[in-house]
Amino acid sequence: MKSPSRLEVREGTDINLYNQVLLPLYGTDAVESVVQYSLSLAETYDAALHVLSIQDEGHTGLESDQVTTQEEWNAAAEIEPVVEQAHALGLNVIPAVDSGHPPSVIRQYAEENDIDLLVHQKPKQNRLARVLRRDISSRIIQTAPLPVLTIPDRSPFNPVGSSATSQFTDVLVPTNGYDEASVAFKHGLQIAKRHDATLHGLLVVDEQSYSSRPGYTWREVTDSWEQRGKRLLEDITEKTASFDVPVRTTLSYGQAQQEILEYTEVNDIDLVTMGTRGLTGIRRLLQRSVAAHVIEEADCPVLTINRTTAELKKHPYTFLRKANQNRMSRLC
């Protein structure tokens, strides 16, 4: 995928990014911090909140057409407290119950209901589970065709109904110029504008980039990334200033995930928006992506844009045509 030297922000400041917010519940009881962030975001953006309870066939041992009425009632009971909280706030809440493998159910529901944002619980399983693709949370983050906001298991800074729009005060956007990071910057900028927050742009000259440039010395690779990084950060400053959003930019050196995590701690960041390209095959066995590291270790919410979402934003008609073809092939 091409790595542009400039970031594109085509939408104006009056664009509402999130009109349909999805909160999926499956496997365990709803984590309070995840529920509160979902309610707060729906309130802030005047969005419809979809609360989807999923009966995982892998846990029940039943096919989707064998789920009993009692199990459906149990699933509905799980989301009732969330629905009641949403109604108390005057939100447009849409409860739903489905069964199947959660990543597939969420993807289909998101496509059919034009979901703009998925609010999700921080993955809890160990590294072995991730490697074997048994960690449902990680699969959703990597494959869902929409932005995913991953929430750690802790209380939000501001409860719903009390200054919800000031929930985020410092938004960090790590960038590398790839499509995923460019779309993540757009989201970070819009969120910072809506919440009157400061946007922090960060580009890390990663030591690992040297291994991907055979035939070049470390100094040559560093110089190339420095020049490119300065252009990208200058572009962030220019675009952010045009939105009247306070901005700080930093060029640092080291391992990307460590630099990002250190920056979030030192600068009291309360939201990270970043791209994730994902890892497959042998690379998945040997290492995690930068985004996976940040999601696992950060104490603040992390909004990720994966490759599928970035392609949808850049080439919507091609992407939708492929999606329709895949849907028709499943029906045949």
- Phi, psi torsion values for 41, nearest 5 degrees: -65, -40
pLDDT digits (tens, 9 = 90+) for 249-302: 999 999 999 999 999 999 999 999 999 875 544 444 344 588 988 998 999 999
pLDDT above 90 as % of the chain: 43
Say which residue, 317 or 129, is predicted with more confidence. 129
Say which residue, 51 or 218, is predicted with more confidence. 51
Split at pLDDT 50, 70, 90, the class of 100 is confident
pLDDT of residue 322: 46
Split at pLDDT 50, 70, 90, the class of 42 is very high
Average pLDDT in the chain: 78
Residue 99 has pLDDT above 50, yes or no: yes
User: Taking residues 25-46, what's their average pLDDT?
Assistant: 85
3-state secondary structure the chain: CCCCCCCCCCCCCCCCCCCEEEEEECCCCCCHHHHHHHHHHHHHCCCEEEEEEEECHHHHCCCHHHCCHHHHHHHHHHHHHHHHHHHHCCCCEEEEEEECCHHHHHHHHHHHCCCCEEEEECCCCCHHHHHCCCCHHHHHHHHCCCCEEEECCCCCCCCCCCCHHHCCCEEEEECCCCHHHHHHHHHHHHHHHHCCCEEEEEEEEEHHHHHHCCCCCHHHHHHHHHHHHHHHHHHHHHHHHHCCCCEEEEEEEECHHHHHHHHHHHCCCCEEEEEECCCCHHHHHHCCCHHHHHHHHCCCCEEEEEHHHHHHHHCHHHHHHHHHHHHHHHHC
pLDDT digits (tens, 9 = 90+) for 123-136: 665 555 555 444 67
Half-sphere exposure of 209 (CA within 13 A, CB side): 18
pLDDT digits (tens, 9 = 90+) for 197-256: 999 999 998 766 655 566 677 778 788 888 989 999 999 999 999 999 999 999 999 999
Domains of the chain, first to last: 18-154 (3.40.50.620), 168-332 (3.40.50.620)
pLDDT above 70 as % of the chain: 69
Query: In the beta sheet, which residues pair with residue 51?
Result: 23, 95
- Phi, psi torsion values for 170, nearest 5 degrees: -140, 115
Residue 192 has pLDDT above 90, yes or no: yes
pLDDT of residue 201: 97
pLDDT of residue 283: 46
User: Taking residues 157-168, what's their average pLDDT?
Assistant: 53
Q: Model-level pTM?
A: 0.81
Split at pLDDT 50, 70, 90, the class of 57 is low
pLDDT of residue 30: 67
pLDDT of residue 317: 41
pLDDT of residue 139: 77
